[in-house]
Amino acid sequence: MDARPIIDLRGDWAAPPTADMRRAMASAEVGDDITGEDPTVNRLEAMAAEVLGKEAGLFVPSGSMGNLVAILALAPWGSEVLAGDQSHIAGAEQGGAAVVGGRSIRTLSNASMGQFDPAAIRAAIREDDIHYPRTGLLCLENTQNQCGGVPLDAATMTEQTATARELGIPVHLDGSRIWNAAAALGVPETDLTAHCTTVQACLSKGLAAPVGSVLVGPAETIAAARRHRKLLGGGMRQAGVLAAAGILALTDMRAGLAADHRRARRIAEAIVTVPGVAVNLETVRTNLVYASLGPDLDGGRIAAAMARDGVRISAWTSGMRFALHYAVDDDGVDRAIAAFEAAVGHGAGVAA
């Protein structure tokens, strides 16, 4: 095992809290968040709402909970939620909208760059027919994780929400990495959130907060979401200890995301030259790099060999993902590339 510090590229959630965050957490002013008395949580919620252009905010333990309480607050019970077939909401949240909320999910095909065909959105919205559930909500994702971390620009967001706005259907944005989208496009977050009713944004993906996401939207919707948060066990007491790190995530960490994007591109351009490795460089615009592997390579074996060299990645038999964050500098990128090339070159990744 390499004696040097581990390079953890399994997810941007692997970024540890900064020294400033740890100090802020230790000295945070706290109170009972369930009764709205924690001043640090209140400050974080107000700050997040302002940055994302909404009226009110809610601090939640996770992005999955933020998405779920938004769905519960916006989509009537028994209604149908439209979401991408490659979306986190549809594929990686244990079907919470249906299991917990009684809202079914109908998937729309995500194109290679993450967007929907606008005509498909219109076609998926149900007519008022007693046989079918009513369409209660449209969910978008930005950046689009499973499509390579692609950012959807303001024009695309306007186009994607147009039919829902026309028909009075609310729109929820899973903006777990909305910060990366804004950084990649060089625009304020509000350019990308303007036409969305609610936005969930992670503080623990890329921004280094140890825990938490924020949900923002209209005050009435956020009040309803707060009740759902309590129902799901997400009500916390002296949560200012966590919110203090979230505040610094917003004030200190967003400016460094462009460097993560640059380093992700370096990895993508290096590994795509390896025989049997395919990377769609067009989609590598933020901090995520997805690679597909040919039949002669095995992602699990490559990952195991890289781990022995002190580099961790996410992998499955036919592919892998590298997720960049502030804790991986240029030297870390060099180590990751070298570990990958060594694993493949030494035959460690050869499929059984």
pLDDT in tens, the chain (352 residues): 557 899 999 999 999 999 999 999 999 999 999 999 999 999 999 999 999 999 999 999 999 999 999 999 999 999 999 999 999 999 999 999 999 999 999 999 999 999 999 999 999 999 999 999 999 999 999 999 999 999 999 999 999 999 999 999 999 999 999 999 999 999 999 999 999 999 999 999 999 999 999 999 999 999 999 999 999 999 999 999 999 999 999 999 999 999 999 999 999 999 999 999 999 999 999 999 999 999 999 999 999 999 999 999 999 999 999 999 999 999 999 999 999 999 998 766 666 5
* C-alpha span between 19 and 42 (Å, rounded): 23
DSSP letter assigned to residue 252: I
For residues 347 and 63, give the distance between their C-alpha atoms in angstroms, rounded to a whole number: 38
CATH of 19-254, one of 3.30.70.660, 3.40.640.10, 3.40.50.300, 1.10.150.20: 3.40.640.10
Contacts of 13 (CB under 8 A, 6+ apart): 204, 205
As to burial, measured by CB atoms within 10 angstroms (0-12 exposed, 13-18 middle, 19+ buried), residue 350 is: middle
Q: What are phi and psi of 104, to 5 degrees?
A: -80, 155
pLDDT for 2: 55
**Residue 42: Cβ-neighbour burial (10 angstroms; 0-12, 13-18, 19+):** middle
Task: Give the closest residue to 155 by CA, choosing from 133, 125, 185.
Answer: 185
Which has the closest alpha carbon to 266: 246, 289, 295, 234? 289
* Per-residue pLDDT at 4: 86
Which pair of tokens denotes residue 11? 């997810």
Residue 125 amino acid letter: I
- Does residue 143 have a cis peptide bond before it, meaning omega lies within 30 degrees of 0? yes
Hey, where are the domains in the chain? 7-14+256-345, 19-254
Superfamily, domain 7-14+256-345: Aspartate Aminotransferase, domain 1 (3.90.1150.10)
| Residue from 46, 18, 63 nearest 252 by CA | 18
Rounded CA-CA distance 52/32 in Å is: 25
Beta 171-174 vs 198-202: how paired, if at all? Answer: parallel
pTM across the whole model:
0.96
CA-based nearest residue to 142, from 127, 124, 164, 157: 157
